Amino acid sequence: MKKKIFTFLFAMIASMSSLNAEIIRDVRIGNIYYDLSTESKTAEVSGGVRDTIIIPSSVEYESTVYSVTSIGESAFDDYSFLTAVTIPNSVTSIGNYAFSRCDALKSITIPNSVTSIGKSAFQSSGLESITLSNNLLVLEESIFNSCSSLVSITIPNSVTLIKKQAFLWCSSLTSITIPSSVTTIEAHAFNSCSNLASVTLSHGISEIGIYAFCKCENLTSVTIPNSVTSIGKYAFRNCSKLVSVTIPNSITSIGEFTFSLCVELVDVVIPNSITTIDAGLFSGCSKLESVTIPSSVTEVKSSAFKECTSLTKIYNYGINPANAYSNVFDGVNKSSCTLYVPKNSINLYKNAPVWKEFYLISAIEDVQAIEDAEIDNVRSAKVIIDGKVYINRGDKTYTLQGQEVK
């Protein structure tokens, strides 16, 4: 028994000695601190003492050469004096918070040897520009969160995932191109990028997360590629200068309030891949004039078009009226907004809950005729005469069938 206890204690002591020997921490060599692995002969940068840091590809300590392969977690966190860093090609990873809160750091180049950068690595730093490694696979959570001076960045084609809050509150960012390698943009990725005016979404993206582009107040247009299948709730909420959006038929799910408070949005065509118009989807879009609802839609949820006060045309292709919540069109002037439906379904809509509240219910086939009759550039305006709808064009009046009224 005593022999077994002795053997166990010896093994424990040997193990602890081995662990202590494997990592030698906070060794200062020049103006940089390192953690040295005696087993792998590699060095991880753990800090520094100067405003300019030039990291070598290898260091020597007690006659042993160590290859510098990583920058450790929080290595330069809150180094407000740090102005420049040179990273060698020997480095393959940068840890969490490595350069966060480095207020004076304005630019940095990440060599192509780096394949991973940890979460919040540059959060709240003073970065204005950065060159990323062409072999980086993921933009981690909050990697550039609150980099309010970041003006431009190129996302390399190697990146497949943009994690949550990656560019949250990057208020100086003006444009971004998402390469085709990216499949997912996670929650809040570009939330509150208030000066972001141009977004290019490449084919390959399948999912746009919740709040992804919320409060991008200078974004004027967005074309969603037909590789996207879902858009999370609030994804484009309060994009107050968004005038147009193209939604492809590949999308099967659009979350609640996704385009709410997009006050400059004028026209929306909902794709025929959608079966449910979710709650508050276009609520508060005060300049929205025209909405096209496909026949695939069977349900319109609460407040979907609430306070769309400029809405004058609803093109609803459903043969049977979709189930609509009672407050779907609260704030819409139902006496001046025309609901266009299939000709043979007019009576169904006139008797359907919510839809019957529209004073003007006309046939889609008829409005198509007048649109075909508009052969010049004279602006058309809908008028009501003796309870019937006519079109004024210049000094002439037409029926909805395109016949001139004398």
Domain boundaries, given as residue ranges, for the chain: 74-376
Cα(253)–Cα(270) distance, integer angstroms: 11
Considering only the C-alpha atoms of the chain, give the largest distance between any 2 of them, rounded to a whole number of Å.
117
From 3.40.50.1220, 3.40.1000.10, 3.80.10.10, 3.40.309.10, which CATH number describes the 74-376 domain?
A: 3.80.10.10
Cα(93)–Cα(133) distance, integer angstroms: 11
Residue 174 has pLDDT above 70, yes or no: yes
According to the model, what pLDDT value does residue 365 have? 78
Percent of the chain scored above 70 by pLDDT? 86
User: Rounded to 5 degrees, what angle do the CA atoms 43, 35, 63 make?
Assistant: 65
CB atoms within 10 A of CB 190: 27
Tens-place pLDDT, residues 126-135: 999 999 999 9
According to the model, what pLDDT value does residue 394 have? 63
Two tokens, residue 12: 């424990």
Tens-place pLDDT, residues 253-279: 999 999 999 999 999 999 999 999 999
Tens-place pLDDT, residues 337-377: 999 999 999 999 999 999 999 999 999 976 555 444 443 44
Instruction: Work out the average pLDDT over 14-40.
Output: 81
Whole-angstrom CA distances from 9 to 1, 4, 19, 104 are: 13, 9, 15, 51
Which residues contact residue 387 at a Cβ distance below 8 angstroms, ignoring those fewer than 6 apart? none
Question: Nearest Cα to 304, choosing from 263, 232, 336, 256?
Answer: 256
Confidence class of residue 17 from pLDDT cuts 50, 70 and 90?
very low
Residue 98 has pLDDT above 90, yes or no: yes
Return the residue matching tokens 């030698």.
24
Percent of the chain scored above 90 by pLDDT? 84
**Cβ proximity of 310 and 289 under 8 Å:** yes
Residue 172 has pLDDT above 50, yes or no: yes
User: Rounded to 5 degrees, what angle do the CA atoms 374, 377, 378 make?
Assistant: 80
Question: Nearest Cα to 264, choosing from 284, 242, 280, 246?
Answer: 242
Cα(261)–Cα(281) distance, integer angstroms: 9
3-state SS, the chain, equals CHHHHHHHHHHHHHHHHHHHHHEEEEEEECCEEEEEECCCCEEEEEEECCCEEECCCEEEECCEEEEEEEECCCCCCCCCCCCEEECCCCCCEECCCCCCCCCCCCEEECCCCCCEECCCCCCCCCCCEEECCCCCCEECCCCCCCCCCCCEECCCCCCCEECCCCCCCCCCCCEEEECCCCCEECCCCCCCCCCCCEEEECECECEECCCCCCCCCCCCEEECCCCCCEECCCCCCCCCCCCEEECCCCCCEECCCCCCCCCCCCEEECCCCCCEECCCCCCCCCCCCEEEECCCCCEECCCCCCCCCCCCEEEECCCCCCEECCCCCCCCCCCCCEEEECHHHHHHHHCCCCHHHCCEEEEHHHHHHHHHHCCCCCCEEEEEECCEEEEEECCEEECCCCCEEC
Which residues contact residue 175 at a Cβ distance below 8 angstroms, ignoring those fewer than 6 apart? 152, 196, 197, 198, 199, 200
Q: Which amino acid is at 276?
A: T
**Cβ proximity of 337 and 361 under 8 Å:** no
According to the model, what pLDDT value does residue 393 have? 63
Sign of CA dihedral 219, 221, 227, 230: positive
Q: What are phi and psi of 324, to 5 degrees?
A: -120, 135
Tens-place pLDDT, residues 378-390: 445 544 454 344 5
Instruction: Classify strands 32-37 and 42-48 as parallel, antiparallel or unpaired.
Output: antiparallel
Output 398 or 117, whichever has higher pLDDT. Answer: 117
Cα(275)–Cα(250) distance, integer angstroms: 12
Tens-place pLDDT, residues 208-220: 999 999 999 999 9
How far is CA 200 from its chain centroid?
A: 11
